[in-house]
Structure 1
Amino acid sequence: MLKHTFKYATESSRDFVYRTIQESIVEFYLRPNERISEVAISEELNLSRTPIREALILLESESLIEVRPKVGTYVTKIETDSVKTVVFMRKVIEAEIIRLACEQFSEEDFAAVSQILNAQKTLLSLHDEFDSLFSLDNSFHQAIYKAVGKEETWFKLQKLSSPFNRARKLDIMLGNAIEKRIDEHEELLEIIKNKEIEKIDDFVKKHLNNVDDLLERLHENFSEYFI
């Protein structure tokens, strides 16, 4: 089953199909090793098979799906090494993004990002809000990139981040470390507000250095999803 989403006015049919399937894979509407059917997607989205085929080619190039000759098309498993690679990239990039935020953030920027953080806190009291928590977690970081004029960097990074995002979504589904993430987001806003540049490197290490613990938890609970 695909994630239900709306087509943006500016989106082509191919881009809409790509985004729908990509989000469905990352958010586990489509699970690793699940078969992908062009016919089923065509019927569900009420689209011809041409944009679906084009979208699947893009998804295969990003290693989110694989074509098994004479067998079919399947959602790939999550590569452990790819998760670690993405975390390494994010540590390098996000340290610089936070430095820019310390230099450039306006009161309006701070208020906008704080609003997202407050929404995360509200969702903590609700049940079965994994999709919303995951979405707001991404929105929080994207808003910081956007505020410092680096939203295009965020979009390009997301193209490479599917392995890590899939792992993060699984961890949220387990209910692990959600409060810790929100506490760290609050700490990050304090660093930006007070322009505490000297704290950035230690914060980034703390926020992203738990990848080995994350992968160990996930392998214990979802070993069939990883290679």
Structure 2
Amino acid sequence: MFRPLYNILYNINNYYIVGGIIINKKYLSLKDHVYDYIANEIQNGTLLPNHKINELELSKKLEVSRTPVREALIQLASENLLEYLPRRGFMVKELDTEKKLDVFKVVSVLDALAATSALDQITEDDIEKMEEYVKIIDLSILEKNYADYQKYQKKFHNVYIGKCNNSTLTSILETLQNSFVRQVYLSNDTDKLFSASEQMNLDHREIIKCFQSKEKERLEQLIRNHWEIKHPDMI
């Protein structure tokens, strides 16, 4: 039975417990929690284009009331991740290939700018963190776990994006990546999918080398090439 919000929401030293997940309410609201959950489900391919979002099921699953669910859905629709259809509700939005290619071109420039801006801020700890993500991505590819692959390749890029000292750039990239990019590639042909994923992880290794050697121009070119779509049939 679905429990009302006041029965599942606890306040422990400025933290929420929602659906068994501890959330620091100083940083993440219930609406934000729902937003992140849906965005991640779309990002990792669990929710595909034209999938209808069931608000009641979602509120039960996350153990929150309908209000933060509706607020999150409205925000996701405003950012082009979802589409609202009268009498049908919210659905995962489908973008045509040309639109996706245009967005990837923009992301490539902005991501390269974030990387070069972060070049002098990257520490040894950051390098080690990126190297660890590359190893996890290798394992995800070996196990053909695309959800984990997508999760950790995003974490990889976020290491340097978070060090670029440009909140506007960071915000724009986050919106573009969540709202338009979704999976870099997605296909039922797993051999082709993970072959492309392997190449992208090789790019990650080269990106790390550029951060280590402080090669600004090569870093910029590497990242712009990294976002160049070589398999448009899989986006």
TM-score w.r.t. the length of structure 2 is 0.77
What's 2:3 paired with? none
**Which residue of 1 is the match for residue 23 of structure 2?**
8
* Amino-acid identity (%): 25
Q: Is the 8 A contact 1:65 1:73 kept in 2?
A: yes
Partner Cα separation in structure 1 for residue 139 and residue 108 of structure 2? 28
SS of the aligned residue for 1:120 comes to helix
Mapped to 2, the partners of 1:22 and 1:109 lie a distance apart of 25
Aligned residue for 1:74, secondary structure, equals strand
C-alpha separation in 2, matches of 1:147 and 1:132: 23
Deviations 1:51-99 (A, max 9, x none): 1111111111112222222233322113324322332222222333332
Q: Unpaired runs of 5+ in structure 1?
A: 219-227
Q: Cα gap change, 1:78/1:105 in structure 2, threshold over 3 Å: closer, same or farther? A: same
Matched, 1:146 2:162: yes
Aligned to 1:58: 75
Residues 136-186 of structure 1, C-alpha deviations (whole Å, 9 max, x = no match): 101111111223435773344121223553241525963241111111111
CA distance in 2, matches of 1:100, 1:64: 28
Change in 2 beyond 3 A, CA 1:5/1:109: same
| C-alpha spacing 1:192/1:54, structure 2 compared with 1 (3 Å) | same
Across the aligned residues of Structure 1 and Structure 2, the Cα RMSD in angstroms comes to: 2.7
Counterpart of 2:96 in structure 1 is 79
Structure 1's 95 and 20: CA in aligned 2 closer, same or farther, altered over 3 A?
A: closer
User: C-alpha distance in 2, partners of 1:152/1:134?
Assistant: 24
Structure 1 Cα separation of the partners of residues 68 and 21 of structure 2: 16
- Partner of 1:154, secondary structure, is helix
- Measure, in 1, the Cα distance between the counterparts of 2:210 and 2:97: 31
Cα deviation, residue 8, structure 1: 2.2
How far apart in 2 are the matches of 1:202 and 1:91?
9
Equivalent-residue separation in structure 1 for 2:96 and 2:85 (angstroms) = 18
Q: Distance in 1 between matches of 2:129 and 2:86?
A: 48
TM-score, length-scaled by structure 1? 0.80
Structure 2: how far apart are the matches of 1:124 and 1:66? 32
1:157 corresponds in structure 2 to 173
Q: From the superposition, tell whether residues 188 and 74 of structure 1 become closer, same or farther in structure 2 (CA, over 3 Å).
A: same
Do residues 129 (structure 1) and 145 (structure 2) align? yes
Q: 1:98 to 1:5 in 2, by over 3 A?
A: farther
Structure 1 residue runs of 4 or more that deviate by more than 4 Å after TM superposition? none
